[in-house]
């Protein structure tokens, strides 16, 4: 079951990336987060009605844990804003490897030898898929200082991604995904308000293009749904496995780019797709 939930999460994450990319270049990080908080409230209310698994006990403690989660999410979005997509995606895609190590030391979650090989194989395939010829060419033209800045922000994005997953792992040890996801909404609103006050940023949607707003709304809706699938999968399967399978969202992202953005699939990406596909098939027997 965790395999199906992880793959569903990957599908919705790829759809969310596709639509957010189309609107994100015209929005600030805080605007994106504010739109997401509104959409998440609607999605999570439906989720609460269907799941009916809200745990009142320990609510305040869960809410406190959502704060570092959204600091991580803010840094995650900032990493993409500051460094672009190619190198950042590839570095962040290595998250499952570090999660497997940290999960062992923190929660004692052991990964079998086959599982470890599959995680590494999947990560290698995902990295190959993410590094398109166009983006590699643009990276090769960067000055050393600019490239160092991109690498630093990409590593910050990796740290942020790890932080979000580890916080979720901690919360699920004493609460439920429903409780955590519901409380993420008010936490995000407070975080956006605080950051907009600190940065003196005026969040005004009146001067936005309708197409950018629609794309961002669609992207954040798919993001909320993907997050639900991811956390539900995590409560059943091991975090490192779930994270590795969720990272396969890049495959659908590539095909969406081919069909809608007229992008081409390189030989390197083809090899990556084959590797990831084989990894997913073998994962079903782990």
Please write the tens of the pLDDT for every residue from 119-173.
888 888 877 776 666 666 665 665 655 666 777 877 887 888 888 888 888 888 8
pTM of this structure: 0.77
Report pLDDT for 216.
79
Q: What tokens does 269 get?
A: 């990406």
Average pLDDT over residues 29-41: 78
pLDDT at 84 over 60: no
Q: What tens digit of pLDDT does each residue of 190-238 get?
A: 877 777 777 776 666 556 677 777 887 888 888 889 888 988 888 887 7
Q: Which domain holds residue 165?
A: 2-283
Inter-residue contact 128 to 268 (CB < 8 Å): yes
- Count of structural domains, the chain: 1
Inter-residue contact 164 to 70 (CB < 8 Å): no
Report pLDDT for 244.
79
Q: What tokens does 82 get?
A: 């500051």
Q: What tokens does 286 get?
A: 């782990």
Report pLDDT for 138.
60
Q: In the chain, what percentage of residues exceed pLDDT 90? A: 0
Confidence of residue 104 (pLDDT cuts 50, 70, 90): confident
Q: What tokens does 281 get?
A: 């098939």
User: 251 CB contacts (<8 Å, ≥6 apart)?
Assistant: 10, 14, 129, 273, 276, 277
């Amino acid at each position: 079951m965790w395999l199906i939930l992880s793959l569903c999460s990957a599908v919705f994450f790829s759809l969310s990336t596709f639509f957010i990319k189309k609107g994100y270049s015209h929005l600030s990080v805080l605007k994106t987060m504010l739109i997401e908080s509104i959409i998440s409230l609607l999605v999570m209310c439906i989720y609460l009605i269907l799941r009916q698994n809200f745990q009142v006990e320990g609510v305040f403690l869960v809410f406190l844990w959502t704060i570092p989660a959204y600091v991580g999410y803010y840094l995650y979005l900032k990493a993409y804003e500051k460094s672009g997509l190619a190198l950042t995606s590839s570095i962040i895609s290595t998250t499952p490897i570090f999660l497997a190590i940290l999960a062992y030391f923190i929660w004692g979650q052991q990964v079998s030898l086959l599982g470890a090989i599959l995680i590494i194989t999947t990560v290698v395939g995902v990295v190959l898929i993410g590094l398109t010829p166009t983006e590699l060419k643009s990276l090769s033209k960067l000055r050393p200082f600019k490239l160092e800045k991109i690498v630093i922000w990409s590593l910050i994005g990796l740290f942020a991604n790890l932080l979000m997953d580890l916080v979720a792992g901690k919360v699920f040890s004493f609460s439920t995904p429903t409780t955590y996801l519901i409380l993420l909404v008010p936490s995000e609103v407070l975080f956006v308000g605080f950051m907009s006050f600190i940065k003196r940023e005026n969040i005004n949607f009146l001067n936005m293009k309708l197409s950018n707003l629609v794309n961002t709304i669609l992207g954040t809706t798919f993001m909320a749904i993907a997050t639900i699938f991811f956390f539900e999968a995590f409560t059943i399967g091991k975090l490192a496995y779930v994270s590795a399978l969720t990272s396969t969202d890049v495959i659908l992202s590539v095909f969406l780019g081919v069909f809608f953005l007229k992008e081409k699939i390189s030989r390197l990406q083809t090899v990556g797709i084959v590797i990831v596909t084989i990894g997913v098939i073998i994962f079903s027997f782990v």
